[in-house]
Structure 1
Amino acid sequence: MPSAPPLDADLAAALGRRLRALREAAGKSQEAVAHDAGISRNHMQVIEMGLSDRSRPTPWNPHLSTLVAPCAALDVSVTDVIRDIFGEPGDVTVEYQVDGD
């Protein structure tokens, strides 16, 4: 199965910034959130940096399970984190034209 394309660097950075802001608002250290999420502090640090690896500056491209763990440790839903970045979904208007009439 092909791997998903990497996230845009700006989006990856926005996810990292949002998780860091939520962590700081909760008064938790990276180490505490990482422990609760079952990941290393280093992993939490690179997530907050929006990177997939400290040695390569490639944007973070998380699996859903990777995003769920820190969110759960911060007692927030993935949906809320995504909504914080993208905003509320709006109504979708679809316009179409029938050809041949």
Structure 2
Amino acid sequence: DAIERLYTINSIPGFPSRSFERRGYKFEDKAWRRAEDPEWDWKSTTSSDEAIGHIFAFGAIAELVDEPELRNKAIMLIDTLMSHVVKNDFYMIDWNGEPTLWGKWNPDYVN
């Protein structure tokens, strides 16, 4: 549930937050954003490494875990993340409408 929360705590469809925490804990890093929920903040600037880690974990769950509800949730989260990337021309688009520093798979950037 916590990893799924990375996708739902911000208002960007398919964008995984780097982290989230209770509001008021420590809010000085520019990467931290206010969530719509007044009790929470979320961290932006998600990298390609983090996204690939999610894909690896969700893929392993989908292939190895014999629990249909968990397997289906993992598959849904793969689709959620990849839909964001594909819809945004192979960039991971952050809260400001710009690609994150390392969330770039677009051939123009990669090549």
TM over 0.5: no
Q: Please tell me the TM-score bracket, short chain as reference.
A: 0.3 to 0.5
TM-score by length of 2: 0.31
Report which structure shows greater RCO (CA 8 Å, sep ≥6): 1
- Larger-gyration structure (1/2): 1
TM-score by length of 1: 0.33
